Structure formats: C-alpha cells, structure tokens
Structure 1
Amino acid sequence: MPFRTIAAILQGEQEFARVLDCAIPLAVRLEAHLVGVHAEVLPVPYTAAAGFPDTDFIQVSTELNKETTLKLRGSFNDRADEAGLSFEWRTLESFSGDGTLAGMPSIRAADLVVAAQRDVESDDGTDVESLVYEAGRPVLMVPHSGPVSSSFRRVLLAWNGSKEASRATFDALPFLIEADQTDILVIDPPANADDSPDAAGARIAAALARHGVTVGVSIESSRGQSVDGVIQERLTASGADLLVLGAYSHSWLRELLFGGVTRSILRSAPVTVLLSR
C-alpha cells in the first residue's frame, strides 16, 4: 500500500530540519499529503513566595512557546509550499511538550510517521519509544546525526519470524520495492521440525521476491554478542541506509532491568530505521 498521508513530528528547532529533509522529498515523490504535528508546551504554574501562582512566569513562558510555534509553523508552511505539496499544520498543547501523545489522533490517521531520533545527550526531542509502541503505525526514525535520506538504495531487514517483524516487513514494502537490494538478516535461528537453520528467512524472502524485491538472506550466529550489536555490525558492513525492524519487547520487568534490542536501536542506530509494532 502506498503512503498517502505522512505525519511529521516537529518538536523543536534542533530536529525540525532533519525531519523535513526526509519527510518533504518523500511526500513529493509519493504525492502524499504532509501533516506537521507540533506540541506547544503548557507552562507549569510555579508558586511565588507569597503563595500565589507566578503569573509573570506563566505569561513569559506562554509567549516564548507561542513564538517558537509560530516560527516553526512559518518554516514548515514555506518549505511545504515551495515543494508544491498538499499539507497542513496541527498545533497541540501538552505539559510535556511532546507531540507523541497529544498528537496521537493525527498520528494514527497517517500511513507513515516521520520522527527524529532523540539525542541521548539531550533531554529534548520526540519520545520515539512511546511513539513506536502507541502509534499503531509504521515510524520512520531519522538519525540525529549523519546524512538524511528519503530514498533508500540498500535495506537491512532484521527477521526473527515474529508478528512484529512481519508487520514491519510489509509496512516497509514500498521502500523495499524501490531499493536496489534488501538483505534479510536472521540471527541465531532456532532449529525445529518445520525449518532448518539454513532455511530461516526463506519464506519471507520468497514472498518479497513475488513483489519484485531484490532480496538475499544472511544467517548469522551471535556467538555471545548482543543481537543489537550484530545488527549494528551488519549495518556497517553492508552499507545499508535503512534498517527495518519489528519493535517488540519482553516483560516490562525484563525491559526495565536489561533494556532490549528495540530500545538500543532507537538510541544508537546510525541510519534511518523503520519500526512497526
């Protein structure tokens, strides 16, 4: 299914340009409608020494937030108009200042969501982890540094046979069809009565080939290394410019104590990542 509505999460000036550098050319190429989603921060009412709300602080914070919103909206409108797009801007209000939750009605009505990877050294930016787990839509995460692309020539698809991996694979199909090569990576495939380790990934490769995807399958053993470490190494070795990954988790306690592959990729992936759940 082609992407006809693309939602771009535009939280602040730091990530604004990188998200649009991906979303606008993509929307132009696909003739898609582009929705800019931005959350304006609601100021927390601090109490002055006299015990009353600090109205001066609230007023100044509100004015600064509106000034930022107007600046971003103007830049978005100018760039989208110059590109000849069908577009709209949606301003929301949130105490967190994150459009992820406040903008969920807009996000869930889109075919694809484009957001920026959060810089681990900064508290600002989109909460991509919550976005991926709550949206119900495929999320294209632009890396916080390095080149930004909207057309992907070589794709690495992490496949483990899960429903999340299947969802991500077929959500990414428009990109896979356009790519010069898609490499399916299977790490530590289980041996069972239905499939041998050597045959892992063969069914999904055949299904993609029927869509005209140029595809190959690689089977790798982690040999005690973390799965996300193997994926990162394969990204570097293959020269892939897009990683396709099913966002899945174990129990909340295991995730809290040990993290997970999805969380690690969200924080450290050096290329654009398409995630679905």
Structure 2
Amino acid sequence: MPFKTIVAIIQSKDDAERVLDCAIPFAARFESHVIGVHAEALPVAYTSAVGFPDTEFLQATAEVNKERADLLEALFRSRVTESGQSFEWRSLESFSGDSAHCGISSARCADLVIAAQRDPHADSTATADVDALLYESGRPVLVVPHDGPAQSNYGRIIIAWNGSREAARAAFDALPLILEAKHTEVFVIDPPEDAEEDADASGAEIAAALARHGANVTVASEESKRRSVDDILQERVAATGADLLVLGAYSHSWLRQLLFGGVTRTVLQSMPVATFMSR
C-alpha cells in the first residue's frame, strides 16, 4: 500500500531541513498528503523574589517559543508549497515540548512517519524522542540519519530478519520501497542450523513472500561470533553499500531496552543510513 499520508516530525530547523528533504520527494512519488508536526514547551512559571509568578519571564518565553514555531511553520509551508503537494501544519504545546510525543496521535492516522535521528552533538531540546514515537504510535517510522545525505530513493535495502513479529511487520510495511529498490537482501544473524526445517527464521519464507510481489530479493546470513548485532548490521550496511535498513523495533521488552540498551536504541543514535522501523 502506498504512503498516502505522511507525518513529518519537526523539532528544530536542522530537523526540518533533513526531514523535508526526505518527505517531499516521498510525497511527490506517492501523491501523499504531508502533515508537519511541531511542539513547543509550555512556559514554566518561575516566581519572583516576592513569591509571585514572574509574568515578564513567562511572556518573554512564550514570545520566543512562538517566534520559533512561526519560523518552522514558514519553512515547512514554503518547502511543501513549492513542491505542489497537499499539506497541513499542526503547531502544538506540551510540558515536554517534544514534537514526537505530541505527534503520536497524528502518527496513528498516517501511513508513514518521518523523523530525524537524534544528533548526539545537538542540544537535548533540538531533537525529538523517536523512541516514544516508535513504541506508542503503532505506525512505521523512517528515521533520517543526522549526518550524511537525506535520501528518499533507495536502491539497495537490507532487511534485518530474525523471524519475529516486529521484523515481519517492518518488512511488509516497507514493501512500497522494497518494490522500488534494485535489490533487497534479507540478512539473518546466527541462522538456524537446519534452514529447511526453520525457513521462517532462516529468511527463506519472507524472501519468497516478497519475491511474489515482484521484489528482487536474496538471503544472506552471518555468524555473530560474540560480536554485537549493532556492529554486524553497520558492517553489513557498509559492505553492501545499502542505503536503507529495515528493522523490527523493540522485539524485546521496552523496559529492558531502556535499561540495558539494544539494537533499536543504537540504530536511533548511530546508524549512518536511513532506517525504516516498525513495531
């Protein structure tokens, strides 16, 4: 199913440029409606020396927030209007000021959500919490890397396959992109010893299913040999020249991921190519 409604999560000017560089070509290709979502933090009521709310501070903060929101809205409208695509802008407020959190309800009614990867060098308020978006929205999220080109056409795709529900959801959610790609590789880490008896976990079954749709699919596997899955995936992306990774998000407990890390969080922080994730 094509992506007819795309939600673009825009937290800052840097996010806006990178997300729109990806979202606008997508919208042109799939004739999509683009919804831009941005949130600002509600001003915190500091008190003055005599114990009353500092109204001047509240007003100044509100004005700064409005100015930033207006600038991002103008940028969004200019870029999308120029492209000729159908669009709307949603400017929101919350205590966190996080556009991903505020965008969850919009995301739930979209075919695809596009957000920027967290930039480790940026201010903490300049990037949105994509983790929450992935876990709560129920919709596929395309994460644009914070460094490197923001591509929207993907010639070589890797599907990280482990036979899980999340991996299956991601593979079929990404089908419109897989059908456009020149080649898609189903990549299995630590495949079962008897691939014929466990075709699901080995990747053979999903590869055959995607091929019936017309995708050009092959299967590859690799033993981890005590290396981390994160490192293996990044090495495979580099070795094959892939420009998109398709991954099932949070195939383990979200609490476990939060406390101990995991592939999902690493991808959100450091994967050098775009990552298509579903849960």
- Name the TM tier (shorter chain): over 0.9
Shift of 1:253: 5.2
Which segments of 5 or more consecutive residues in structure 1 lack a partner in the other structure?
Answer: none
Aligned with residue 155 of structure 1, among 150, 154, 157: 157
The 5 Å alignment of 1:5-84 reads 5-84=5-84
Q: Name the aligned partner's letter for residue 182 of structure 1.
A: T
TM-score by length of 1: 0.96
The 5 Å alignment of 1:107-256 reads 107-122=107-122, 123=124, 124-191=126-193, 195=197, 200-252=202-254, 254-256=256-258
- Say if 1:191 and 1:197, in contact at 8 Å, map to a contact too: no
Q: Per-residue displacement from partner, 1:80-112 (whole Å, max 9, x unpaired)? A: 111011111011111111122222221111100
Q: Name the aligned partner's letter for residue 120 of structure 1.
A: P
Count of residues in correspondence between the two structures: 277
**Which secondary structure does the structure 1 equivalent of 2:224 belong to?**
coil
Q: Quote the Cα distance in structure 1 between the aligned partners of 2:200 and 2:51.
A: 70
TM-score by length of 2: 0.95
Deviates more, 1:167-176 or 1:88-97: 88-97
In structure 2, the CA distance between the partners of 1:261 and 1:62, relative to structure 1 (3 Å rule), is: same
Shift of 1:255: 2.6
Q: Name the aligned partner's letter for residue 119 of structure 1.
A: D
Shift of 1:171: 0.2
Q: Quote the Cα distance in structure 2 between the aligned partners of 1:3 and 1:129.
A: 21
Q: Quote the Cα distance in structure 1 between the aligned partners of 2:238 and 2:194.
A: 31
Shift of 1:252: 4.9
Q: Quote the Cα distance in structure 1 between the aligned partners of 2:154 and 2:202.
A: 25
In structure 2, the CA distance between the partners of 1:274 and 1:198, relative to structure 1 (3 Å rule), is: closer
Shift of 1:220: 0.4
Q: Per-residue displacement from partner, 1:118-167 (whole Å, max 9, x unpaired)? A: 11233121101111111100000000010111111100110000000000
Q: Name the aligned partner's letter for residue 23 of structure 1.
A: A
C-alpha RMSD of the superposition: 1.7
